[in-house]
Structure 1
Amino acid sequence: MREKTIDYVLRATWMSVAKMYNEEASKKGSTMATGFALISIDPENGTPSTSLGPKMGMEATSLSRTLKTMEEKGLIYRKKNPQDGRGVLIYLTQFGLEMREFSKEVVFAFDNAVKEHIAPEKLEIFLEVFQSINDLIASKKIYTK
């Protein structure tokens, strides 16, 4: 049955992508989660910590642990949000900016490799299908009982 379900193909593919990203990130002593966080943080203006979780699709506990590790490694620093004294903005250090560039290169290398091996019209259909799946999930019409 596993070869026949969309769920299986999605999970297996994402697990392969995650493993690949983690292998690349480990070359620099990092992880995929850290790389995605680095890419998600605005390099000029910082990013409110509360908006990072939804941006990355990460739960607060996991994000908190990731940010703590990133701070310990000298990738980020936190400052009070001048617009909202209760909030915190996350900024990249110089090392964080360098690692952000590495993370972007890893993502673009994967993107370019896929584009080199798969015809543009097939990729367009792939993206349309994934958008349709996301729309279906967002509509909450799958499990109606």
Structure 2
Amino acid sequence: MSFIDRDKWYGSLIKRIYRNVDLIFSQYGAKFGLNTSQLQVLVSLWTSENRGLTQKELVEILGFKPASVTALINSMESKGLIYRKLDPQDARVNRIFLTMKGIEMEEFHLKQVDVIEKCLTYNFTDDELKVMQIQLKKMLNNLETSLENVKIHS
């Protein structure tokens, strides 16, 4: 049996980092009765310019299926975190907005993100962090370009 060094595979390292970060966010979200998908919806709304997004926009941002986003919205609406409001420009479209309860969670959540970021980047110099960010963005761009090419050619 041969030995495979998973630490040589960038994808393996990134996946292991992601799993650990996701585990931390799962534990954090559980304190509020939220899963990581619901936290992603909140982050999307916190970072939207007008704090309101359509369901279609959420589907595009999150990369989830429309039915999954509908279930998330319904669940979060029942928890009092978000509400729907008709779009004034298009009455066929509902926009999703944060309630006061959803807005109030932002500051605490950002503190948690900051703790995780500090943990991830501990012992890195500023120069190393700048280089790493450039390299990670290149990797992401490479993958997104590859995915687009696969879709075109399949």
Give the TM-score of the pair, scaled to structure 1.
0.85
Which of 27, 39, 54 does residue 31 from structure 2 map onto?
A: 27
Aligned to 2:126: 120
Shift in CA distance, 70/129, structure 1 to aligned 2, threshold 3 Å: same
Aligned to 2:22: 18
Shift in CA distance, 18/52, structure 1 to aligned 2, threshold 3 Å: same
Could you give the per-residue CA deviations for residues 29-57 of structure 1, whole angstroms, max 9, x where no partner exists?
22222222112114854222211122233
Give the paired residue count: 145
* Structure 1 or 2: more helix by fraction: 2
Contact 2:55 2:94 in 1 (8 A): yes
Shift in CA distance, 122/57, structure 1 to aligned 2, threshold 3 Å: farther
Report the RMSD for the aligned CA atoms in angstroms.
2.3
Equivalent residues in 2 for 1:64-83, closer than 5 Å: 64-83=70-89
Q: Secondary structure at the match of 1:58?
A: coil
Equivalent residues in 2 for 1:1-145, closer than 5 Å: 1=4, 2-41=6-45, 42=48, 44-140=50-146
* Structure of greater Rg: 2
Contact 1:35 1:99 in 2 (8 A): no
- Take 1:46 and 1:85, find their aligned partners in 2: how far apart are those partners? 15
Give the TM-score of the pair, scaled to structure 2.
0.80
Residue segments in structure 2 that go unaligned for 5+ positions in a row: none
- Take 1:4 and 1:16, find their aligned partners in 2: how far apart are those partners? 18
In the TM superposition, residue 85 of structure 1 has moved relative to its aligned partner by 1.5
Shift in CA distance, 57/102, structure 1 to aligned 2, threshold 3 Å: farther
